[in-house]
Chain A
Amino acid sequence: MEGTFHASSYIGYVYPNETIIPWTVMIVVYPYMTGLVAGAFSVSSMYHVFGMEKFKPVARFALLTALCFMLFVPMTLLLHLGQPQRAFNAMVTPHLTSAFAAFGYFAAFYTLLLMIETWFAFRADNVIRARNSTGLVRTFYRTITLWSDDISEKARAYDEKWMLSLAIIGIPAAHGLHGYVGFVFGSLKAREWWGSDMMPVIFLFSAVISGIAALIVLYTLVSKLRKTPIDEACVRGMAGALWGFLMFTVLLEGLEFANVVYKGKEGIEVIMEYVTGPLFYRYFVLQFGLGAIVPIIILGIMFMRATRGKAFIAGAVIASLLVLMNVFLMRWNVVIGGQEIAKTMRGLLHYHDPGGRDGLAVALTVLACPLVSLSIL
């Protein structure tokens, strides 16, 4: 039996083993999801740690969103592994020089932190729900509050204190987790498109914008579904943060690209051939143009003209959807793009979706899972 594999077509010269692209769309979704987690957590912390009152309406929702996405992050990696049943080898016997060996610890620690913080955030509500219900429903809420029944001022202050501490630890944890994903790519010297010191920084900034954008979209969507009024000041606050961080992100990504081009090291010909050829549309037109410049302009015009009401919400949602596309494409263009440029620096490969458990359909399903859990929760 020869096993199934998906060889890529190519132009120029590539090493024979390179015709099978190692990391698939699953590894695109993985940093996309950790980015959403870090970004959503940032929004939550703006209220919980920095006391920005205007973010209060989304603070707990942001926490829950981060948790829902975080729960499914390991799924992307497990689906990608050839031997997923051995995944714990990396935790039981970590090879300490590997940038990836600490992932299990990082992820487990942060997931636990998120779960505890979310528990505190929703504890009082769940206690009230338990009190106001009977039968199995009551048992359910009693169970998820872990049989706590105290919602006095003192107990709530205690909850708040814990949440503050956890949120403070959570900020470096969330950003550490994601910055470290950037490091995994940035530290790979074998690939010109990845091996950059700026990679973790770019990953972090794009994570923040994706998280804010996701929250703007989800918050307005959930408010519509629940028929609750949308807090415009809150959306305005998030849109402002999105606008500012987006400008930084685009600048950093532009600088990174300018660096590669300006240095013009060996193999620059093939990189230029790539960015002006197969990458042009999804890099310059979609990622930079439609995904970054357009939302910056939309948000800019709205802030300049002091747009209010439904028009502002609609504009913010459209800009956010474009930013979400931008960040997904950024992950795609980094992860898949880096592998489409051959290590020979003499050829370009063309990624084909392998299908199956490592393919696009399953990846999108995994990406949808947090949304389903979020709707249930």
Chain B
Amino acid sequence: MTCEKDIDRRGQTAQGDEDDGDARTGRRGFLKDVGKAVASIGALAASGTALLATKQTAQAAAEPGPPAIAGYDWNEHQWGYGIDATRCIGCLRCVEACKAENDVVPTAHHFRTWVERYVWLEGEERPHVDSHSDPDNVAASGSEKEYRFDNRYQGKKVYKAFFVPKICNHCRHPSCVQVCPTGATFKTKDGAVLIDHSYCIGCQYCVQACPYGARFFDPRTQVTEKCTWCYHRITKGLKPACVEVCPVNARIFGDLNNEASDISKFVTENRVQVLKPETGNAPTCFYVGLDKEVS
């Protein structure tokens, strides 16, 4: 698997700056031009130019340019994600694949995707909930880089239990994008919510604003991180790593513009739900098999 990360606003990868010419049409190119202009006309004109730059670059932040990826047109796609919670067996291959594919911080406190376990014991009204990052589960694994659920319910009378995979919901009205003070995080035309790591100031306002806990602060790079739906893969016609490795097809990904796609079928053939609809975030991650206790 490739490990191309750091996708910026134009969808370029850190390793793949092959098309620098086009990049000049983006915000950075514009800023360079502004910089040159300012240098030449002197300090007096600088304030006026800065005002102009502010106005125009603010527009650029609101409307990111298309990604410079050969053969990919983001106007042609509308990506969607599906999770069939009734199928998930809690094997956590998705979590490990995501960590490896995207070079996610290898600890039990940084995840782009995770799996929750809900267990009702006989005689109890509310479920016990945990995830693989629970200290007991980490102890059972013996490592913060490999994940598993322990056997804590062995011998107990369980009357209902299931797993729920979680991931960034790539919302239609993402509260993280709303609050970002610089526009470093943005919604793409094809539906993904991405972060321009070179522009993020690391204020973590977005981490606070996400109702789903999908974002985290990367202690190595000092900027915010989250799921990209493996944008470097999907723009090449591949599936996200978590979907690719799921042995039971609990995770579904595809193009909502294509009626024959897995995700279109998943959404039309099932009565799907989203998490926390009351927030108004309108997720594009659709669920089957949720329970009233899942939020």
User: B-contacting residues of A (Cβ < 8 Å)?
Assistant: 1-5, 7, 12-20, 22-23, 77, 80-84, 86-87, 89-101, 103, 184, 188-191, 266, 339, 343-346
* Chain B residue with Cβ nearest A190: B211
Interface mask (B266-288 → A, CB under 8 Å = 1, otherwise 0): 00000000000001100000000
B interface residue count range (under 10 / 10 to 19 / 20 to 34 / 35 or more): 35 or more
User: Is the pair A92, B106 in contact by a Cβ cutoff of 8 Å?
Assistant: no
Complex contact B106–A81 (CB within 8 A): no
- Residue pairs across A and B with Cβ atoms less than 8 A apart, 30 shown, are A4-B219, A7-B108, A15-B166, A16-B132, A19-B133, A20-B110, A23-B204, A81-B202, A83-B200, A83-B201, A86-B201, A92-B50, A92-B57, A93-B182, A93-B183, A95-B62, A96-B58, A98-B178, A98-B179, A98-B205, A100-B179, A100-B181, A101-B181, A101-B182, A188-B209, A190-B175, A190-B210, A343-B212, A343-B213, A345-B295
| Residues in B neighbouring A95, C-beta threshold 8 A | 58, 61-62, 180-183
Residues in B whose Cβ lies below 8 Å from that of A80 = 203
Q: Are B184 and A89 in contact (CB under 8 A)?
A: yes
Residues of B within 8 A of A (CB): 27, 31, 50, 53-54, 57-58, 60-62, 105-111, 114, 116, 129-133, 166, 175, 177-184, 199-205, 207-224, 279-280, 295
B201 touches A81 (CB 8 A): yes
Chain B residues near A184 (CB-CB < 8 A) = 205
Known: A3-B218, A82-B222, A87-B201. A16 touches B58 (CB 8 A): no
Q: Which of B61, B116, B213, B221 contacts A93 (CB 8 A)?
A: B61
Say how far A247's CB is from chain B's closest CB, in angstroms. 32
Check B222 against A23 for contact (C-beta < 8 Å): no
Chain B's closest residue to A19 (CB) is B109
Given the known interface contacts A5-B109, A82-B201, A92-B53, the answer about A103 and B181 at a Cβ–Cβ threshold of 8 Å is yes
In angstroms, Cα B107 to Cα A86, docked, is: 27
Complex alpha-carbon distance, A3 and B215, angstroms:
17
Q: How far is the CA of A191 from the CA of B182 in the complex (A)?
A: 22
Considering residues B105, B204, B279, which has the most beta carbons from chain A within 10 angstroms of its beta carbon?
B204
CB distance from B281 to the nearest CB of A (A): 9
In the complex, number of A-B residue pairs with CB atoms less than 8 Å apart: 168
Assess the B208–A190 pair: CB atoms within 8 A: yes
Between A18, A83, A96, A99, the greatest number of chain B beta carbons within 10 A of the residue's beta carbon is seen for: A83
- Choose among A12, A15, A19, A82 the residue that contacts B202 (Cβ–Cβ < 8 A): A82
- CA of A339 to CA of B54, assembled, Å: 33
Q: Are B111 and A2 in contact (CB-based, < 8 A)?
A: no
Q: Specify which of B54, B175, B199, B203 is in contact with A94 (CB 8 Å cutoff).
A: B54
Would you give the shortest CB distance from B39 to chain A, in whole angstroms? 16
Cβ–Cβ contact A90 & B207, under 8 A: no
**Central interface residue in A3, A15, A87, A346, by most chain B CB within 10 Å:** A15
Query: What is the minimal beta-carbon distance from A85 to any residue of chain B, in angstroms?
Result: 9
The answer to whether A93 and B219 touch (CB under 8 A), given A82-B201, A344-B213, is: no
B213 touching A17, Cβ below 8 Å = yes
Interface centre among A20, A95, A100, A344 (most CB of B within 10 A): A95
Nearest CB in chain A to that of B111: its residue: A16
CB of A210 to closest CB in B, whole Å: 24
Closest chain B CB from A171 CB (angstroms): 26
Q: Which residues of chain B have C-beta atoms less than 8 A from A97's C-beta? A: 177-179
**Residue pair B201, A190 in contact (C-beta under 8 Å):** no
**CA of A94 to CA of B61, assembled, Å:** 8
A residues less than 8 Å from B208 (CB atoms): 22-23, 188, 190-191, 339
**CB contact under 8 A between A90 and B201, given known A82-B223, A190-B175:** yes
Pairwise interchain contact A90-B181, C-beta atoms closer than 8 A: yes
Residues of the A chain whose Cβ atoms lie less than 8 Å from the Cβ of B217: 5, 20, 22, 82
Q: Which 5 A-B pairs have the closest CB atoms?
A: A82-B202, A3-B219, A15-B213, A82-B222, A95-B183
User: Are A13 and B109 within 8 A (Cβ)?
Assistant: no
Of the candidates B27, B180, B209, which one forms a contact with A190 in the assembled complex, judged by CB atoms under 8 Å apart?
B209
- A188 contact set on B, CB distance < 8 A: 179, 208-209
Shortest A6–chain B CB gap in Å is 9
B215 — which chain A residues lie within 8 A by C-beta? Answer: 17
Q: Given A4-B219, A82-B204, A89-B201, list of 14 further CB < 8 A pairs?
A: A2-B220, A7-B108, A15-B131, A16-B110, A17-B110, A20-B216, A92-B31, A93-B183, A94-B58, A95-B61, A96-B58, A100-B181, A189-B175, A346-B129
Closest residue of B by beta carbon distance from A104: B181
Task: With a 10 A CB-CB cut-off, give which of B107, B203, B216 has the most chain A CB atoms.
Answer: B203
Are B106 and A2 within 8 A (Cβ)?
yes
Inter-chain contacts of A84 with B (CB < 8 A): 201
CA distance A92 to B214 in the complex (A): 28
* A5 to B218 Cα, complex, angstroms: 9
Given contacts A22-B207, A89-B199, A93-B61, are A344 and B295 in contact (CB under 8 A)? yes
B220 contacts A81, C-beta separation under 8 Å: no
